[in-house]
Amino acid sequence: MSSYNHLTLKDRECILLGVTLKDTYQVIAQRVGCSK
């Protein structure tokens, strides 16, 4: 986890955004799968 501290704030935002988008995509995929 120490390597995470070396990332810039911009890099952290990009990583958090990517994780959030991935999680959101999975939730949407699950909802679509359930509705079918």
CA distance 26 to 14: 18
Q: Per residue of the chain (36 residues), what is the pLDDT tens digit? A: 556 567 788 998 989 999 999 999 999 999 988 866
What pLDDT is stored for residue 24 in this prediction?
93
What pLDDT is stored for residue 7 in this prediction?
76
C-beta of residue 18 within 8 angstroms of C-beta of residue 11: no
Beta-strand runs (E) in the chain: none
